[in-house]
Structure 1
Amino acid sequence: MKKLFFALMIIFALTSSPYFSEAKSLKKPVVLDSDEWIVTLDEARIEEGEQLYKGDSRADVYLLKIANKKGKKHNVTVHTFRKEQGKSYKFGMSLNDTEGRNIEIEDKEVISFKNFPVGKETEEFEVFIMWQEEGSGRFFKQDFLVPVR
């Protein structure tokens, strides 16, 4: 019984330590893949002298890339959403830059957002991509849940 209690105390000490529960920046990129898209979340690469948001105590800044794997896509729109505790709906994040523009991308082309802020409390966010295929009036959509921490 003492050994079990001792083992539980060690496990508790290791899992509750501030060192282990502290939010870390990305050590390597998060890459999510589907038949049509590749979504990559990576560390922001802000050049010296660029007038871009560099993060603060409330948010970290990342590089978000959305790559077209195949075919020509028309009317591409990208939206991002985050979930807040206690809410039954999701909040739109800063990335709604493609709304209202007729973006067309070819094979292997990338939509890149090099200054994408994500709140420090956010554990994951949703990337919502909608598009039309060449020669089709039908819309398609794809959702990705991107883990941050």
Structure 2
Amino acid sequence: MVEELRREFEALETFVTLSPIPGLRRCVKKAAEGGAEIELTEDELSLITVLEESDTLPSEPDMQAEFNQLAAKYFVYGKSSRGGPADPVARFHLGNGACLERINPVADLSTRGVSTSWGGMVNYLYDLKNIERNHEAFANGGDVICSAAVKRAANGN
């Protein structure tokens, strides 16, 4: 796909997607009930309760920071039954050599977006000089290649 775009738009150097997070809500609700491998903090459990009970979106800055942390944990620590990332869209992009660059709260206000991820979306960055290395790291070790900001959020910083 990147090579196709590059042929059509020769000057294009940065390739970034805006992608859904279809499994986020289901997986973190399962984790909140003790049924998933993701360890949640009290703040994250409170956020899930607020989001679920009031059908609120994470629109306040503090809620957005907590949402970013929750989503980052989902991507970095959430696993499918086969051991790879829980998120199918992440598996696709990471398998193609992308880097999970950014989490965007309140980005998909469609009915489906709210029902699957409380409106969150993510950006995957395809950096031409790192695509092959990222692909190999994911294919051989299952590494979730992500930006420093996503790593910090996943680790609660």
In the superposition, the TM-score normalised over structure 2's length comes to 0.25
Instruction: Say which structure is richer in helix.
Output: 2
Instruction: Say which structure is richer in strand.
Output: 1
In the superposition, the TM-score normalised over structure 1's length comes to 0.26
Relative contact order: is structure 1 or structure 2 higher (C-alpha 8 Å, sep ≥ 6)?
A: 2
